[in-house]
Amino acid sequence: MTSTATSTSDGIVDEWAIRRMVRTMIPLLAGLSLLQMASGTVLESFEETLLTQPSLLILVPVQIGTAGNLASIMCSRLSTQLHLGTFELSLSNPGVRANTGAVFALAGTVFSLVGVAAWGIGTVLGGSLTLLEVFTISMVSGMLLALLVVVLSLLSVTASYRLGFNPDDTTIPVVTNLCDITGVLILFAVVVVVV
Amino acid sequence: MYGQDTAKDVYRDALPVIIVSLGAGLFAGTILGSETMRNGIESVPGLLLLLPAFLATRGGVYGSLGARISSGLHQGLIEPRFELDRRLSNAIIASFINGMTVSVFIAVVTFLVLTLLGESGSLVQLVGIMLIAGFLSAVLMLSVLVSVILVGYRRGLDPDNIIGPVVTTLGDVFGVVFLLVGVYGMGLVL
C-alpha cells in the first residue's frame, strides 16, 4: 500500500489514509472499552439474577442494540447534514426536529414490542417474571434511552465538529458506547425498582 | 432533497430495518439465555464482564465504517461499485486493524479487572476467545456491510438509515454466536 501517508501531495490532510483512521479511532475505542467495563461489572454483579431470569438476559442485547440503532441513525443523518451544511444545533432546525420526533416514535413502537417478546421467550426458557414487570422494565428503560440518544447525538455531532474531528469517525462510537453503558445502568436500576 | 425529510419519512424509512434488527436482537438474546451459553458464562470467568465491551466495539468500528462510506457516497468521493478504490480499501483495512487491536485490548483489560476484583481468570483463554470472535466478526461484518451499503445505495436506499440496523443486527447475532465459538475453540486448545 502506498497510500498510508497522512497527507496528500497538495498538503490537505487526507481523511482516507489508513494511519489517520487508525490513529483517530484506536484511542477512542480503547477508552470506550474501558468505560464498557462499568456495564460489564454491573452484568457480573447481576449474574445470579440473569441466569435465573432469561427475560432479563434477553433484554440486555435487545435494549443495547436498539439504542445503538437509533443512535446510529441519528448520528449518521446529522453527520451527513453537517457535511452538506444544513445542520445547526437548534430545536427549530427542521432536520433536528424530524430526527428527534422519529427517534421517539421508533422507540415507543419497538420497546413495547420488546416488552412482550422478551416476556414470552423468557417464560419459555424458564423465567418467572410477569408480563407487566417485563413490559414496564422495557418501556421505562427504553424511553429514557431514547431521550439519551437524542441529547447525546446532538451534542456529540456539534462537539466533534468544533473539535475538528470527522463526526463519521467519532460520534457513533461515542454515542453508542455511552448509550450502552447508561443503558445497562438504566436497565438494572429499573429492574431493581420493578422486581 | 436530503435533510428535508420529515419525522414521518425518517420513521417510515427506518421502521422496517429496526424491526428486523429487533428480531435479530431477540434471537441473540435467546442464544445468550440458552443452556449452552449459560454454561459458558459459568465456566469462563470474565465472559459477562467483556460482553458489553465486545458487542459495543463492533458497533463502533463497523458503524463508523458505514457512516464514513455513506458520507463518501453522498459527497461523490466513493463510487457505488465493487471496485476497491483507494478510499474504500483503506477504510476497510483500517477497520480490520481497529477491530482486532481493540478485541485483544478488551481481553487484557477484562483479565486485569478480574484480578482487581480478586477473581481468578485466564489471560490466554480470554485473549484466545477474543481473537477468534474478533476475527470471525471482522470477516463477516466487513464483507456484508460493504455489500449491503453499495447495493442499497444503487437501489435508492439512504445508507444512513441502513448502517445502524445492519451493524447491530449482524453484530448482535454473530457477536454472541462467535463468542460461543471462541469459548468452544479455546476449550479445545487449552
| pLDDT tens by residue, A29-40 | 898 899 889 889
Residue A88 domain boundaries: 52-194
Q: How far apart are CA A115 and CA A55, in angstroms?
A: 9
Q: Would the ipTM clear 0.85, i.e. be above it?
A: no
Chain B residues within an 8 Å CB radius of A21? 68, 90-91, 94-95, 98
Looking at residue A9, what is its pLDDT? 47
Chain A nearest CA to B60, separation (Å): 4
* Domain assignment present for A24: no
Residue A191 grid coordinates = 429492574
* Domain assignment present for A44: no
Q: Among A2-11, A63-72, A116-125, B64-73, where is mean pLDDT lowest?
A: A2-11
Among B64, B159, B176, beta carbon nearest to A173: B64
Beta-carbon contacts of B154 under 8 Å, excluding residues fewer than 6 positions away, are B80
Looking at residue B10, what is its pLDDT? 87
Indicate if the pLDDT at residue A84 is higher than 80.
yes
- Residue A89: how many CB atoms within 10 A of its CB? 14
* Domain assignment present for B5: no
* Domain assignment present for A38: no
Among B30, B53, B106, beta carbon nearest to A121: B30
pLDDT: which is higher, A6 or A130 = A130
Quote the mean pLDDT of chain A: 86
Indicate if the pLDDT at residue A171 is higher than 90.
no
Q: How far apart are CA B21 and CA B170, in angstroms?
A: 8
Residue B96 grid coordinates = 480490520
Tens of pLDDT, residues A131-159: 999 999 999 999 999 999 999 999 998 99
Q: How far apart are CA B1 and CA A99, in angstroms?
A: 15
Chain A residue closest to B176 (CA)? A61
Indicate if the pLDDT at residue A69 is higher than 60.
yes
* Domain assignment present for B2: no
Number of compact structural domains in chain A: 1
Looking at residue B95, what is its pLDDT? 94
Share of chain A above pLDDT 90, in %: 37
Crossing angle for the helix pair B47-75 and B159-189, nearest 10 degrees?
150
Q: Which of residues 116-145 of B touch A (CB under 8 A)?
A: 117
Q: How confident is the model at residue A78 (pLDDT cuts 50, 70, 90)?
A: confident
Of B190, B163, B6, B173, the C-alpha closest to B95 is B163
Looking at residue A14, what is its pLDDT? 80
Q: Cβ–Cβ of A40/B29 closer than 8 Å? A: no
Q: Cβ–Cβ of A173/B172 closer than 8 Å? A: no
DSSP string, B111-134: HHHHHHTT----HHHHHHHHHHHH
Residue B30 domain boundaries: 11-189
Mean pLDDT of A34-59: 89
DSSP state of B81: S
* Domain assignment present for B166: yes
CATH number for position B175 = 1.10.357.20
* Domain assignment present for A73: yes
DSSP state of B85: -
Chain A nearest CA to B6, separation (Å): 5
Q: How confident is the model at residue A12 (pLDDT cuts 50, 70, 90)?
A: low
Looking at residue B76, what is its pLDDT? 86
Number of compact structural domains in chain B: 1
* Domain assignment present for B3: no
Q: Among A3-7, A17-21, B79-83, B118-122, where is mean pLDDT lowest?
A: A3-7
* Residue A70: half-sphere exposure toward Cβ, Cα within 13 Å: 36
Of A104, A93, A109, the C-alpha closest to A149 is A104
- Residue A81: how many CB atoms within 10 A of its CB? 22
- Residue B154: how many CB atoms within 10 A of its CB? 11
Q: How many residue contacts between A and B have a Cβ separation below 8 Å?
A: 272
Tens of pLDDT, residues B30-81: 988 888 888 888 889 999 999 989 988 887 788 888 888 888 888 888 888 8
CATH number for position A169 = 1.10.357.20
Q: Do the Cβ atoms of A29 and B100 come closer than 8 Å?
A: no
Q: What is the pTM of this model?
A: 0.79
Give the H or E element holding residue B51: helix B47-75
* Domain assignment present for A124: yes
Q: How far apart are CA B182 and CA B134, in angstroms?
A: 9
Q: Do the Cβ atoms of A184 and A39 come closer than 8 Å?
A: yes
* Domain assignment present for B97: yes
Share of chain A above pLDDT 70, in %: 93
Residue A7 dihedral angles phi and psi, to the nearest 5°: -140, 150
End-to-end Cα spacing for chain B: 57
Q: Do the Cβ atoms of B167 and B59 come closer than 8 Å?
A: yes
Chain A nearest CA to B170, separation (Å): 10
Q: Is A2 helix (H, G, I), strand (E, B) or coil?
A: coil
- Residue B124: how many CB atoms within 10 A of its CB? 12
Looking at residue A180, what is its pLDDT? 77
Q: Quick check: B55 contacting A, CB < 8 Å?
A: yes
Indicate if the pLDDT at residue A25 is higher than 50.
yes
Radius of gyration of chain B (CA): 18
In this prediction, the residues of chain B whose per-residue pLDDT falls under 70 are: 1-4
Crossing angle for the helix pair B35-43 and B159-189, nearest 10 degrees?
60
Q: Among A12-21, A185-194, B113-122, where is mean pLDDT lowest?
A: A12-21
DSSP string, A48-87: HHHHH-HHHHHHHHHHHHHHHHHHHHHHHHHHHHHHHT--
- Residue B8: how many CB atoms within 10 A of its CB? 12
